[in-house]
Amino acid sequence: PIKSSAASDVYKRQVQAFGVKAAKQTRYIKAINYCISQYDFDTVCNVLNSIEATEKLRIEAAKCEDKISCIQRLIIERVIKMRNAQQQ
């Protein structure tokens, strides 16, 4: 379980990455919690900080059935990119 100060921190980053309306939606919360469970809290927070407006719009406009998997895919792609950049 995430402590309340950490949860507050994630929420702020979620709002920054996806907007207030999206940050309150269960699909975003579930996707981010899944990614934290697969990677770690700090990594996911760093990725949330790096999500740009174009990516946010891409998710909002996506015609995918399962938005949770779209959000997870974006975060996971960013984690992989970030880790590859750190190894170079």
* Residues 6 or more apart in contact with residue 62 via CB below 8 angstroms: 70
pLDDT of residue 10: 86
pLDDT of residue 2: 53
Q: How many CB atoms lie within 10 A of CB 45?
A: 19
* Residues 6 or more apart in contact with residue 16 via CB below 8 angstroms: 48, 49
pLDDT of residue 37: 95
Residue ranges of the chain with per-residue pLDDT less than 70:
1-3
pLDDT of residue 3: 61
pLDDT of residue 31: 94
Q: Tell me the whole-structure pTM to 2 decimals.
A: 0.82
